[in-house]
Structure 1
Amino acid sequence: MSAAPTRTADEGSRVVFANGLLPGGSLVDITSTGDLITGVDPVAAGPRPGSTTIDLEGRLVLPALVEPHAHLDKAFLAERASNDTGDLMGAIRALEQVRNTLTRADIRDRAVRAAVELSRNGVVAVRTHADTTLAGGLDSVLGLLDAKDDCSSFIDIEVAALVEWPLTGRGGADRRALARDAIASGADVIGGCPHLDPDPLEAVNVLIDLALEAGRPLDLHADENLRADSEDLYHLAHRITSDGLTLRANASHCVSLSMMDEFRQRQIADLCATAGVTVTALPQTNLFLQGREHHRAVPRGIAPIALLASAGVVVAAGGDNLQDPFNPMGRADPLEIAALLVVASHLTPDHALQTISTGGAAVMGLSCGLEPGRRASFVAVRATSVRQSIAMGPPDRLVVHGGVVIDEQKRNTK
């Protein structure tokens, strides 16, 4: 097996990525001009004049992988903070016990380490949540913004201010102010956990209002429990449709939706489609955290992806936590998440791939795909089919972002 190409194309140049295998089976040359795909054509007999050629050597070309939901401020804390109960509240307690060790520099360093691993696995963009708490202040936000700057040569990072609860009532005033401080400091997205608030409905409204006020997208940790009466997702979609709001909104987790009867599931799915609310499923973390109190027919804790998609909802999937108290596993590899969706959510390999590529891109408002006019970002792997690429998770991955090959030199942040 020959080594992966390491030549980096000059930015703004015309590059032909030759001999790439599309998921449909066609062998093609992909041309980029600047950072856009400008041609997907049958393989040429020889070099194309006026361009740099990089030989993909028959690799399978997949759309760029996108991580729509991460917690890079917590990455690699599994050895430092142990979750003794294995559930959500156990993870939260474990994190609080080591909160004083999470300095801005520590957060930056672990986030950069995680971003490098994501990039090696084909990820070109990641949305990471940043704990925004009275105890920790803006350390997570600032540490992740530092990582965003340090990693800008190889991966695009969005920082979502994950504002702690309660956000409602008089007790929430300081936290609402902290959310505004996070935005003023550079946070890209507003986030929160309404299902943990004493008044979840009002918490959804507070978070919507904060996002509208700031002119930022909203990404909720929604309904991360197995209670069929938990309806953050419904309240979010209902508020957007009833008030006619223009707001890019995503709901992550949405575990409780899997516990509802199908009629109610479809009602909420239809409302989300109308509202334009996207949903991000997080199978690895929720399989770990949810259902520990059940001793038979254990719920899987994954949002009903196929049902949501059938209603026209854009659904993405993410890795969520990476080797921390919320999930001691994880390889920063979306193909690992896609494999879980095939076996635990009964998705086809092609559908699973969509959730970790074009679906994740849609959540982040990015253009992703292999058609002319899309950004020239993709990953080429040594596989002959989408199924094989997900099953094998080939380590030899050629990552192209904006028409530029991302090599280890670009990933060097020192």
Structure 2
Amino acid sequence: MPDSPPQPSDGAPADTTTVVLCGARLADGRTVDVRLGAGRVEAVGTVGSLPVHGTRVDLTGYLLLPAPAEPHAHADTALTALAVRAAGEGPSFSAEDVQRRATEATLLQLGHGATALRSHVRIGDARQLGGMEAVLQARRSLRGLADLTAVAVPRLLTGVAGADGLAMLRDAVKMGAGAVGGCPDLDPDPAGYVEAVLNVAAEHGCPVDLHTEGDDPARLARLAAMAGGIRQGVTLGPCAGLGRLPAEVAARAADQLAAAGVTVVCLPQGACGGVERGGDQESAPRPGVERGIAPVRLLLSAGVRVAAGSGALRDLSNPVGRGDPLESAYLLASRSGLRAEEAYGAVSTAARAAMGLPGIRVEAGFPAELLAVRGEDVEGALSLAYSRIVIHRGRVVARTSAVREYCDSATAVALELPRQGRSDLGT
């Protein structure tokens, strides 16, 4: 994994304006001022100790955290559920439509706090490389707002039918895909599929991000053995099938993944359509199949790095997706029994590490990728994080202000959640 912060592929520079975040509360309970400059945290001091020579942002009543990241998005199919249902079958989306939806979905997730996103993008079949080009164009249009990385996802890579997919996979990387992936479970030769992906990754020096249900222990063991030692890193997700295996079998699989250095990206909202048997990423979930989640505590106890993502966003496989990292963290805390700090780490620290991004701390010298949420602690942030301020490369790129009104016949009281305070987010 790279030790230095990634440079924007579109040439967007870090913002050079000095920004001082005043009166922010940190997760350790301190209240501080934070000065940002040249895309990094320049200084952290007691309230009032840092001179304000640039923009001042009042964070009184806000908790300041490292920004989350989205390690498992599907920008090319995002926001298609209504159109697919209306058409009665998979409609053919133009490149312009894919670009528009990918941009809209990324901005939606940015507003929730994700300043870096990794999106799986299908190539081949009728779409060829059109979807990839559209998502890459969306990435360019979002310069300075969010960092969007595309993962090339071919359907087949083995046999005669897979020859075109393999050529297209190489072309996608040359176009600008930042990682290679796919779903080995859907290829007639899963081991051959993984081998082809790893070979392309080695040729181009890019990371690997594969879909798998993880419910075949022998196949998962082979995959872990093949992935072990890959310098660029291998990520698997959502691995929900591990939770359906006998405990001792799942524990052995977890040990194998840990030994191979594989990162698991779970999807607390449920499995994405990318691993539905016999369908594609726009297919509806199979009737009668309850979606689960990878056994997070088991994986963590085995030493596996576990990150969490949102997965599908309002397509047929998840028509009500929110694309909110804090929702993923909330579900990890409420369903998997993780402490609030651990759950938030899965969508921030671990998610960034899975994507090969540098770590973030509210300390001098670290990249200024931050999220301010109204509240006093992480537990409150995961419960009622309605008002948010998102900082990317040292500048405010998104603000959300939530106001709730309680009314009777004589009076209206406006409260900003989760506690009474000002409704403005002015600087």
Same fold (TM over 0.5): yes
> 1:40 corresponds to which residue?
44
> 1:322 corresponds to which residue?
313
Of the three residues 330, 337, 358, the one matched with 1:339 is: 330
CA deviation string 1:310-350 (max 9, x = no partner): 22222111111111011011122111222222233222222
Correspondence 1:259 to 2:254: no
1:136 Cα offset (Å) = 0.7
Correspondence 1:248 to 2:252: no
1:373 to 1:305, Cα distance in 2 relative to 1, 3 A: farther
1:291 Cα offset (Å) = 8.1
Normalised to the residue count of structure 1, the TM-score between the two structures is: 0.84
CA distance in 1, matches of 2:205, 2:37: 32
Maintained 8 Å contact 2:27/2:65: yes
CA distance in 2, matches of 1:14, 1:80: 44
- Matched positions, count: 375
1:245 to 1:397, Cα distance in 2 relative to 1, 3 A: closer
Q: How does 1:4-403 map to 2 (within 5 A)?
A: 11-44=15-48, 47-48=50-51, 50=53, 52-82=55-85, 97-100=89-92, 102-165=93-156, 167-223=157-213, 227=215, 229-241=216-228, 244-286=229-271, 292-293=287-288, 300-367=291-358, 368-394=360-386, 396-403=387-394
CA deviation string 1:105-156 (max 9, x = no partner): 1100011111111111111010011111221101110010010000112000
1:43 to 1:310, Cα distance in 2 relative to 1, 3 A: farther
CA distance in 1, matches of 2:345, 2:40: 20
CA distance in 2, matches of 1:287, 1:146: 24
> 1:90 corresponds to which residue?
none
CA distance in 1, matches of 2:91, 2:168: 17
What is the root-mean-square deviation of aligned Cα atoms in Å?
2.4
Structure 2: give runs of 5+ residues left out of the alignment.
1-13, 277-284, 400-427
Which amino acid is 2:221 matched to?
A: Y
Structure 1: give runs of 5+ residues left out of the alignment.
1-9, 84-93, 409-414
Task: Identify the range of structure 1 (281-290 vs 125-134) with the bigger mean alpha-carbon deviation.
Answer: 281-290
CA distance in 2, matches of 1:369, 1:200: 39
Maintained 8 Å contact 2:118/2:355: yes
CA distance in 2, matches of 1:219, 1:137: 20
1:284 to 1:183, Cα distance in 2 relative to 1, 3 A: same
Task: Identify the range of structure 1 (152-161 vs 206-215) with the bigger mean alpha-carbon deviation.
Answer: 206-215
CA distance in 1, matches of 2:272, 2:385: 20
Q: Give structure 1 regions of 4+ aligned residues with deviation exceeding 3 angstroms.
A: 49-53, 230-233, 287-294
Q: What percentage of residue pairs aligned between the two structures are identical?
A: 36
